[in-house]
Structure 1
Amino acid sequence: MANPGGKRRLKEAMAGYAFMSPVILILGCFLLLPILYAIFLSLHKVNLLGHVSYKFTGTANFERMIDDPRLWIALRNTAKYALIVVPCQTFLALVLAAILNMKLRFRNFFRVAYYLPTVTSSAVLVLIFMWIYNRNGLLNYLLEAVGLPTYNWLGDPTVALFGIMIMNIWSTAPLFMVIYLAALQDIPDSLYEAAEIDGANAWQKFWRITVPQLQPVTFYVLVMGIIGTFQLFDQSYIFSGGSGGPNNATLTMVLLIYQYAFKNMDMGYASALAFMLAVVIMLITLVQRLIFKEDKAN
């Protein structure tokens, strides 16, 4: 005899999957299949010119990374960029959010004004900062006006990457500021009132109440910041004209992947690099998660 309960559960499951099918199809076509295809490409030598062909090479593309000097330069630049930009933008976002959470005059105006760089096109921001850093740009004009020597900011390998860092800190911190600002609204005023009764000053309230209460948000901001910095491409591409110069100073991992894929037409090796970058980002995220869990437990 058929089980009526089992039939009902089967119908409910089929109805649920029917409702989810559009999302499953979209994610499958535009997320899962590209990932699988990239893994497939990373194990092959691909010829895209003329007759498309695939030659299985196993782990040759991954072994090739060890002897690729430009890969290590790109990794060093990207790691250096992330180590400086992520803490700076996180700290600046937290400070701005704490200030704009106070009862200030024209508070809403400053919130909108600080957020404007985030909604500005990345390409436009790069062009503005290139004009500022140019030999005849605003920065050298101001230096010359006060009697200081001018500098070739875009042509010096020692400072070119720092120019991109400053631009990104200025343009991304407001986005995380809004996230922190929303989280600050949820901290109960009673915690601060109790701390005041106990004699806590402003710094103690910030360090002992605000920062711990914002820990989940800080974890999110750090993870998104690291993912964003490791995916740096457009700013570096426009600054260097796609070369990663001067002298590979602005060469990043994603720009290197682009060069191998679309300039050298070495799609197999580029896919292997992309897969390696994804693994690095996942490992860093897992380490952050473990650190934050340990801090929470303590």
Structure 2
Amino acid sequence: MADRGVGIATRVPSVHRGLPVAPPPKRGARLGNRWTPWLFLLVPLAFLAVFTFVPVADMFFYSLTDWDGLSPSPSFVGLDNYVDLFTRPQLFQVFAVSLFYLVGAAVQIVAALYFATLLSSKLRLRNVFKGVLFFPYLINGVAIGFVFLYFFQPDGTLDTVLRLVDVDPRLWLGDPGLVNTSLASVSVWRFTGLNMVLFIGAIQSIPPQLYEAAELDGATRWQQFRHIIAPGIRPVISLSAILAVSGALSVFEIPFIMTGGSNNSETFVIQTIKLAFNFNKVGLACAATVVLLGIVLVVTWLQRRIVPDERVELS
């Protein structure tokens, strides 16, 4: 009986009978699948190492020397350049100029949020306005510097417009009390469009049924922004804030072209460039660059700790 039962059991058709059964992957195939993503990342990682990590390592090495940028064999001085930096507080006074750009970055993010929210709605000619606002970011920074150099010059475009409303002309780039505000406003004009495009992309990723439900509940535009848009694009806002802070600490292009750092408009990067190329203190300039990199990394870390990048589930 036992043998008969076994025979019957073996003749019962299985639910998988007739279906092709894939053989288990071989060990070599498993290893190949594991290394395939790294093969695609090989070229980007190589570029990252060659053009980022290696120059940073060289910069740190030269910061420990007294290299003047010309001699083939710099002398090793250890931490003397860093001691020189931190014992000369006037080298860090230029960070006060970054406060103007930080305020400008805040204005820039608020303006970008406003335009992104407005242009994400069913507004007529919204694509035209998007192009107009994004266009300044496409212009070369050197060209922007020269354009606004003529815009702010005495009896230039700005003074001509203000004279129509009985406002006296001023030295926008010659007055130490106005020059940093004028330069920061140029940065606001240039980068608002970039942030607007980032915010528009994030807003469009929010499910549209949330807006429909909010409209049915009688929510105003401000309530929709506060409870739907702002939480939904929080990671992008955090990213924009990080980029704004790091950019404010490392401003170079606009003030260098428009004022050359004169009239109390010198930034930390302009000062570093002068140390390297005007005074031939490349080792000290490299030490200042390492310090700036450390400050940016610390500020970014603190910002991420204070405002964590959490994904908000909207329902």
**TM-score, reference length from structure 2:** 0.83
Alignment correspondent of 2:191: 172
Q: Is the 8 A contact 1:73 1:251 kept in 2?
A: no
- Cα distance, 1:200–1:273 mapped onto 2, change above 3 Å: same
Q: 1:264 aligns with which of 269, 272, 279?
A: 279
Task: Name the structure where helix makes up a greater proportion of residues.
Answer: 1
From 220, 231, 253, the equivalent of 1:212 is 231
User: Which residue number in structure 2 is paired with residue 245 of structure 1?
Assistant: 262
AA paired with 1:35?
Answer: V
State the alpha-carbon separation in 1 of the partners of residues 42 and 204 from structure 2.
38
Give the Cα–Cα distance (whole angstroms) in 2 for the partners of residues 11 and 204 of structure 1.
52
Match of 2:46 among 25, 30, 35: 25
Q: Is the CA contact 1:98–1:181 (under 8 Å) kept in the aligned structure 2?
A: yes
Distance 1:253 1:41 in 2: 19
Pick from 208, 230, 245 the counterpart of residue 249 of structure 2: 230
Task: Work out the CA distance in 2 between the residues paired with 1:99 and 1:177.
Answer: 10
Secondary structure at the residue paired with 2:231?
Answer: helix
Compute the displacement of 1:22 (Å): 3.7
* Residue aligned with 1:153, SS: coil
Cα distance change of structure 1 residues 102 and 284 upon mapping to structure 2, 3 Å threshold: same
Q: Name the CA distance, whole Å, in 1 between partners of 2:211 and 2:42.
A: 48
For 2:222, the equivalent position in structure 1 comes to 203
How many aligned positions are there? 288
8 Å CA contact 2:95, 2:249 repeated in 1: no
Opposite residue 217 of structure 2, the aligned amino acid is D
Task: List per-residue Cα deviations over 1:46-65 (Å, max 9, x = no partner).
Answer: 1333x423222221111112
Residue 148 of structure 1: which of 155, 167, 170 is its match?
A: 167
Could you tell me how far apart the structure 2 residues matched to 1:289 and 1:279 are? Answer: 15
SS in 1 for 2:74: strand
Letter in 1 for 2:284: Y
Percent identity over the alignment? 28
Equivalent residue for 2:72, pick from 52, 56, 81: 52
- Secondary structure of the 1:55 match is coil
> Could you list the runs of 5+ residues in structure 2 that have no partner in the other structure?
1-25
Q: Which has the larger Rg?
A: 2
How many Å apart are 1:236 and its aligned residue? 1.0
Aligned to 1:76: 96
Which shifted more, 135-144 or 99-108? 135-144
| 1:279 is aligned to 2:276 | no
CA contact (8 A) 1:47 1:53 kept: no
Report the equivalent of 2:81.
Answer: 61
Cα contact 1:117–1:170 (8 A) shared by 2: yes
Q: 2:33, 2:208 → 1: CA distance?
A: 46
Alignment check: 8 A CA contact 2:64 2:80 kept: yes
> 1:185 matched to which residue of 2?
204
Please give the alpha-carbon distance, in whole angstroms, between the structure 2 residues aligned to 1:115 and 1:48.
40
- Scaled by the length of structure 1, what TM-score is found? 0.88
How big is each residue's C-alpha offset from its partner over 1:161-220, in whole Å with a ceiling of 9 and x where there is no partner?
A: 111111110110001101111111111122223333433222111111111111011011
Following TM superposition, by how much is the alpha carbon of 1:9 offset from its aligned partner in structure 2, in angstroms? Answer: 6.6
Task: Name the CA distance, whole Å, in 2 between partners of 1:96 and 1:104.
Answer: 11
Distance verdict in 2 for CA 1:47–1:128, change over 3 Å: closer
Return the offset for 1:93.
0.6
Q: Distance in 1 between matches of 2:293 and 2:172?
A: 32
Map of 2:180 onto structure 1 = 161
**Residues of 1 paired with 2:80 and 2:27: CA distance?**
51
